[in-house]
Structure 1
Amino acid sequence: MRHVGEAAVQRRLGVEARMGEVMGQVVRTWMPEQHRELFCKLPTLLVGSLDAQGRPWASILHGTPGFISAPDERHLHIATRPSLDDPWQAALGTPLGLLGLEPHTRRRNRMNGSVVALDRESFTVEVDQSFGNCPKYIQARMPFAVDRGAPAAPRAEGSALSEDALQLVRYADTLFIASASRTPRAHGGAEGVDVSHRGGPPGFVHIETIEGHTVLTIPDYVGNRFFNTLGNLAVNPRAGLLFIDYHAGHLLQLTGLAQTLWEGELRAIRITVQQGWWRARALPLRWSAAEPAPQFSDPG
């Protein structure tokens, strides 16, 4: 249930044997009923994918709750498709990482699989791996639908981010990171694609400019020790990032080169941006003010 990159990171931190037992117990090839129930009531779905060049991207799909359905324990049916200008497009055999997140309850479940059916308006993903995640580091906020009007045309971002993009990153308390366990061979050569949540105090992402590139450093707080993301980066050092403007519905999607920084048990992920998209008013949703995760609450 784990690949060589995950095992290597676990070995480095002295938890390989223990996590082998844990992952064997909690990572399934089918979805438990509580996972199916969560996916089916969400208005959004986080997606990790690969573009034609094998670069990871993190995206978000949206719809009226019920647009995701689980016809059985091995499949999720998603009654929408990514917009035509999204970096990824569903195709038979496309590997995907899916994350169902309900931020106001801090529930989240993961499903990694591949596309096994599609038509003009929907696609179906078959489970390779299904597992839950704890609620740590999730900023609680309630979504609500709005009339967004017509979304603006996407704007390309280069290796040096625009001021709009930098402003969103500068105050972000949440992001999503996509990674893949190895470089794919025409989609389907990958062992798997993953998308994970990262949360922190507002401004937890450090921003630098190095040789004309925007470089983002994200602290990697202690989690479930599966090391899905770090394990992928150990064998395929590329990542995609998604930032959501929860007040205005804007999206920022980035892809770039990734490096894991180590200082004892302290870790961080450094992303050198290569390309991205700014999507103004992309989401017909807004969220309430964040209730900070307990790990970041001020005890005073």
Structure 2
Amino acid sequence: MSGYHRGEIAVQERSGLQRRAASAERAIGSTVPEVAADFLARQPFVVLGGTDERGRIWATQLTGEAGFLGVPEPDVLTIDALPAPDDPLAGLLSGAGEQAGGAAARIGMIAIEPATRRRMRMNGRAVRDGDGLRVHLDQALANCPKYIQERHPRRPAPDGGEERGEHRGGVTDGDALSPAQQETLRAADTFFIATASDRGDADASHRGGNPGFVQVLTPRLLRWPDYAGNGMFLTLGNLELNPAAGLFVPGWDTGASLHLTGSARTVWDPDEVARVPGAERLMEFEVTGVREIPAASPLRWSEPAFHRFNPPVA
């Protein structure tokens, strides 16, 4: 996966950012530098994106103690965790690769340290390795800290009751957003988006902004601004070739996870874009599937300090 594919190039050209993209391309490698390996070893979670057995793209997270992410070789990432059975990517990741007699699962990953606003993005091919995954990397790159809200991990209460989310019931599935889920999205300052190229190469990326930057237009249609970034357009480039996408919205204070699958498109209309502060383009996401899992993660986080570059929300 060296160089940009034709979808990424098409979006770069339409945005007039070919020169910036050419400069940024030098940051894309297929190995993890030593300083980045140390960064990964400190992280308690990683976000993954991939395609399920029905061809739907989802994003999710895996968690563990510091050290559950490892770099035994420069082009290999190990993850000492597997998704729970009710996770939308459980089938893809728990059965990936040689031990199950199948092909490696193509996944995108992003590791974020909210306290320092650092992040690293990796894409590759995962195989099951005991109770975890071994990912052979095709791409690895560090991204800028823009639009990441500062958060710090905190310990759950000793009894764990409310922190584990036991009062919220079980997993729920649907094909549209419930009123409560709509409010979750309207209040969100962070979500993650998974996409894949027309060849199936997956990617996972971060989106952030002030609460309200995600608009819920209907129970099945979302819209958000695409703010200025590094000009690579790895997400929008994939969508240019393959509109399938998945969103993951973490419950920072509850451990709940909201997973959406559907399709996304870029809105280029200048009049529409001009109505949204800070937007360079708009993105629309049509929901076709929803899964909400209470207490999916043991992690709990402090209230956010919003990034100073977050544009205002109208």
Which stretch has the larger CA shift, 145-154 or 251-260? 145-154
Aligned: 1:237 with 2:243: yes
Q: Does 2:269 match 1:268?
A: no
Aligned to 2:15: 13
- When residues 263 and 42 of structure 1 are mapped into structure 2, their CA distance, relative to the original with a 3 A threshold, is same
Equivalent-residue separation in structure 2 for 1:180 and 1:48 (angstroms) = 9
Where does residue 175 of structure 1 map in the other structure?
191
Does 1:154 find its partner at 2:171?
A: yes
Looking at structure 2, the residues matched to 18 and 135 of structure 1 have their Cα atoms a distance apart, in angstroms, of: 17
Question: Among 90, 104, 107, which residue is 2:115 paired with?
Answer: 104
What is the identity, as a one-letter code, of the residue corresponding to 2:254? A
- Tell me how far 1:17 sits from its aligned partner: 4.5
| Matched residue type, 1:181 | S
Q: Could you tell me how far apart the structure 1 residues matched to 2:311 and 2:24 are?
A: 29
Secondary structure, aligned partner of 1:247:
coil
Matched residue type, 1:194: D
Q: Percent identity?
A: 39
Q: Distance in 2 between matches of 1:173 and 1:292?
A: 8
Whole-Å separation in 2 of the counterparts to 1:297 and 1:18: 22
Structure 2 residue matching 1:129: 3-state secondary structure = strand
Cα shift at 1:22: 3.0
**Could you tell me the TM-score, scaled by structure 2's length?**
0.86
* Inter-partner Cα distance in structure 2 for 1:149 and 1:17: 48
Secondary structure of residue in 1 paired with 2:237: helix
Find 1:131's aligned residue among 131, 136, 141: 141
Shift of residue 150 of structure 1?
A: 7.1
Amino acid at match of 1:280: P
Q: Go from structure 1 to structure 2 and tell me whether the alpha carbon gap of 1:22 and 1:149 turns closer, same or farther (over 3 Å shift).
A: closer
Contact 1:145 1:284 in 2 (8 A): no
SS of the residue corresponding to residue 83 of structure 1 reads coil
User: C-alpha distance in 1, partners of 2:7/2:290?
Assistant: 26
Aligned with 2:309: secondary structure?
helix
Shift of 1:43: 0.6
Contact 2:72 2:78 in 1 (8 A): yes
Residues 244-284 of structure 1, C-alpha deviation per residue, up to 9 Å, x if partnerless?
12121111000011111013482111001000101112111
Q: Contact (CA 8 Å) 1:103, 1:142: kept in 2 or not? A: yes
CA distance in 1, matches of 2:49, 2:247: 9
Q: 1:297, CA displacement in angstroms?
A: 7.9
Count, aligned residues: 285
Gaps of 5+ in 1: 183-188
Aligned Cα root-mean-square deviation (Å): 1.7
| Larger deviation, residues 108-117 vs 90-99 | 108-117
Q: Which moved more, 1:96-105 or 1:28-37?
A: 28-37
2:63 is aligned to 62
Letter in 2 for 1:241: L
Determine the C-alpha separation between the residues in 2 that align with 1:21 and 1:236: 25
2:12 aligned counterpart, secondary structure: helix
For 1:240, what is the secondary structure of its paired residue? Answer: strand
Give the superposition deviation at 1:157: 2.4
| Matched residue, 1:196 | 205
**Displacement after TM superposition at 1:74 (Å):** 0.8
Seen in structure 2, the aligned counterparts of structure 1 residues 49 and 137 have a Cα distance that, compared at 3 Å, is same
Deviations 1:89-141 (A, max 9, x none): 3102100111010001000001100114522x111001100101000000100
Query: 2:126 is aligned with what amino acid?
Result: V
1:292 aligns with 2:302: no
The answer on 1:280 being equivalent to 2:298 is: no
1:61 is paired with a residue whose SS is strand
Paired residue type of 2:146: K
Give the partner amino acid of 1:231: G
